[in-house]
A and B are shown apart, each in its own frame.
Chain A
Amino acid sequence: MLSRSALSLALTASLTLSAAGATAADLVIAGRDGIYGQALEATVARYKDTHPDMDIELLKLPYGSLYEKLVISLREKSGAYDLVLLDDTWATEFMGNGWLANLEEQGKITGDFIGATLDISRYPVAQGPAYSLPIVGNVAMFAYNQALFDQYGLSKPANWDAVKVAAKTISAKNPDTSGVVFRGQKGNPIVTGFLPLFWAHGGVIVDDSGQPQVNSTQGVQALESFLELKQYAPKGIEVYNSTEVRDAIQQRKAAIAIEVWPSWAPSMDDPSQSKVVQEMQVMAAPGQVNGSSPMLGVWQMGVTADAKHDKAARDFLDYLTSAENQKTLALELGLPPTRRSVYTDKDVVAKYRWYPNQLEALEHGKARPRIKQWNEVESILGDYLQLAMIGQMDARTALDQANRKIDRALKR
């Protein structure tokens, strides 16, 4: 008997408790997990030193979840967030829909933001006013193991043909190490893994008139090179994502990584996690037909158009993007800055030997196409790249079919 009255009591109690109202915060920030979350958290903590009475709520979500949540919340005008962190590929959609506030109503953005990173904060791109500020100067880099290259008499690869030769040599001569590693998982990972090659070979996803062109001769050649590289990659590359790529590099199971993000680099030199301390060279990806075109993956932050705490949001954003804070975040966490002065700062360069290369890559950085349907285009391309990779289709067929489907998605 006792247990049944306990049950009814518990039901009443939990329903009552659950109805308790929400506390209102002074600023609500929607951000990412991982290093981005840590950086925001550290910034919030420092900001609170000067604003001790402020109650700041910080949301940390995985990539996909943040996108879903933001689109639905902003579209349904729930007014839940003041500041939102966004990937640069979402920018066209968010800004085009009027979900973000114009940051240049009161005057031009000043400061030494690297041109290529601030351009994609503008809508229309590079021309209109800024609707966000660049927070994380992410750019896809390329890394190779200098010690292994020296051992087999290889030199810094000048183009993708040289990368193929190096990968082949190392795979053939060293049974424990694969020549190359990249993210081969379906969807976003395989596409970002492939784009540096695709662009270097002269491939174009969507041309200036808005037509998809992934199946051009250059595109097919790029995919064929990619498939050739796969022969020198570890088994199971088809399901590799960042975690596996980093493990492979840090455990010296692979010699070259096509795609390395700046925030991965510090752990390569951390003896507690890595067997390749000081062995990796990090540089901009090589060119082929075209020069090197490093892919930008800039994280931006904008103030929402329906922000309840607009003024506080703008003030926090200024603090977050200040050179001083960027320097601290770079030194503490290895978060890549977006201001030129931080890249040339003595302390920062002393700590991260590849920063001059990273600055150069950012300045020549190339953004992914500025289209609203990028998610769908990327997913389609990812599906067919993988079909080619597991040998169900040849490069030409895969890209032809991808192109047809992308065309349909763009016309929707």
Chain B
Amino acid sequence: MSAIKQTSVPVFSDSVAAPFSGVSRLSARTLGFYLALGAALTFFALPIVWMAGIAFTPSGEYVSDSLSLLPAHPTLAHFEALWRDGFPGRLANTLIVAVGATLLALSLGFLASYALVRFRFPRRLDHAFLLLVLVIKMMPPIVVAIPLFQLLKGLGLLDSKLGLILVYQVYTLPFCIWMLLSFVRDVPLSLEQAASLEGAGLLRRLWHIVLPLCGPGLAATFIFTLIMAWNEFLFALLYLSTPSHFTLPLYVSNFITENETFWGQLMGIGLLSSLPMLLMAGYVQRYLLRGFAMQMK
């Protein structure tokens, strides 16, 4: 999706939309807009820049009274150490588990939320279902961890990626259902009715109408669910036992030890382990920002 195509869509912005306001007011507004944007970007980015700086700073240099964000003597040593120490394997594990859990939750959640929005349930079972699912999302993971261990052991799925993908659904599936609800609801009923008159069945309507129109919602939900599964620590800690099956969060915890924090490697792994998600989010944002849904029609 190129930027040119996006701008062909009507834009809802004050500077364009208010051609008759005075020039001074317009520029004051624009100035205010960029000030606010700059402040927001600084607030969210500054700690990240600091983190990246530390990732390239040699050990022993990081404690300082200065405000400089960049290392005096940049080094790649931390990244080299991480690479040698089995980072690629952990990354692959995390990718499989997080993407698997996300896609599973997204597909099941999408079907369920569509049914919950469109269909008439007997005895308000839909409300009951939604509230029950919300209660599940509220449960503190600590109290479900032990019963889930016993469950996985019974299924023979301890220490496996599939087991982890399954238990992540306790939190990702309720989340997806609730997230997608409002976006499915926003899909105009008339479109589906028209398609149905032309003979489109349930699956075709889902695939060709509802799914594309839920683009922004699906994209946002994808990003959140991926983040949840990517950074999950407790279940991964308890249900994986072989180091070669470990996911990244378990690996990250190695750099904050009781006696010492390995700042360089910790910030390095922070940077490395978030980059794949940043790439995916950067890709998915095309569905999030306006333009995509229009193009699909």
Chain A residues proximal to chain B, CB less than 8 Å:
4, 7, 10-11, 14-15, 17-23, 25, 28, 30, 32-35, 37, 57-63, 65, 68-69, 72-73, 76, 78, 80-81, 241-243, 246-247, 251, 261, 263-264, 272-273
Contacts and interface: CB of A to CB of B under 8 A. Distances in A.
B258 to A, nearest CB: 5
Given A17-B96, A17-B161, 4 more contacts: A14-B96, A58-B243, A72-B145, A76-B153
Contact of A18 (B107, B160, B261): B160
B242 A19 contact: no
B253 A72 contact: no
27 contacts: A4-B207, A11-B107, A17-B96, A17-B100, A18-B160, A18-B165, A21-B160, A22-B160, A23-B244, A25-B242, A32-B257, A33-B253, A33-B257, A34-B254, A34-B257, A34-B259, A59-B243, A60-B254, A61-B250, A61-B253, A62-B254, A72-B149, A242-B259, A242-B260, A243-B259, A261-B259, A272-B60
Given A18-B161, A37-B254, A73 B97 contact: no
Contact of B241 (A23, A59, A65): A59
A226 B254 CA distance: 32
A325 B149 CA distance: 37
A19 B160 contact: yes
Contacts of A73: 241
Contacts of B211: 4
A362 B99 CA distance: 51
A330 B64 CA distance: 31
Contact of B237 (A11, A68, A247): A68
Nearest to B61: A272
A302 to B, nearest CB: 17
Nearest to B257: A34
Interface in B38-67: 59-60, 63
B104 interface: yes
B75 to A, nearest CB: 13
Interface in B232-246: 237-238, 241-245
Given A18-B100, A57-B244, A33 B254 contact: yes
Contact of A34 (B150, B242, B260): B260
B162 interface: yes
Interface of B: 59-60, 63, 96-97, 99-100, 103-104, 107, 145-146, 149-150, 153, 158-162, 164-165, 207, 211, 237-238, 241-245, 250, 253-254, 256-261
Given A264-B259, A272-B60, A10 B241 contact: no
A25 B162 CA distance: 20
Given A22-B245, A68-B238, A14 B99 contact: yes
B242 A22 contact: yes
Contacts of B257: 32-35, 62
Q: Which 5 A-B pairs have the closest CB atoms?
A: A18-B161, A34-B257, A14-B100, A11-B103, A80-B241
Contact of B162 (A15, A72, A273): A15
A76 B149 contact: yes
A309 to B, nearest CB: 14
A23 B243 CA distance: 11
Contact of B258 (A20, A23, A34, A76): A34
Contact of B260 (A61, A69, A243): A243
A273 B59 CA distance: 8
Given A37-B254, A62-B254, A62-B258, A78 B158 contact: yes
A68 B250 CA distance: 14
Given A18-B160, A58-B243, A78-B158, A242 B107 contact: no
Nearest to B283: A3
Contacts of B243: 57-60
B241 A18 contact: no
Most buried by B among A18, A23, A246: A18
A246 B259 CA distance: 8
Contacts of B100: 11, 14-15, 17-18
A15 B104 contact: yes
A99 to B, nearest CB: 15
A59 B164 CA distance: 18
Nearest to B92: A17
A273 B238 contact: no
B125 to A, nearest CB: 28
A55 to B, nearest CB: 10
Given A60-B243, A272-B60, A19 B238 contact: no
Contacts of B146: 72
A72 B160 CA distance: 17
Nearest to B207: A4
A9 to B, nearest CB: 10
Nearest to B212: A4
B289 to A, nearest CB: 16
B259 A35 contact: yes
A25 B243 CA distance: 11
A274 B100 CA distance: 46
A333 B237 CA distance: 27
B237 A61 contact: yes
A15 B259 contact: no
Residue with the greatest number of chain B CB neighbours at <10 A, chosen from A10, A32, A58, A60 = A60
Given A4-B211, A33-B253, A72-B146, A57 B242 contact: yes
Nearest to A270: B60
A272 B153 CA distance: 48
A28 B242 contact: yes
B259 A10 contact: no
Contacts of B104: 11, 15
Contacts of A251: 63
A78 B153 contact: yes
B96 A80 contact: no
A81 B243 CA distance: 12
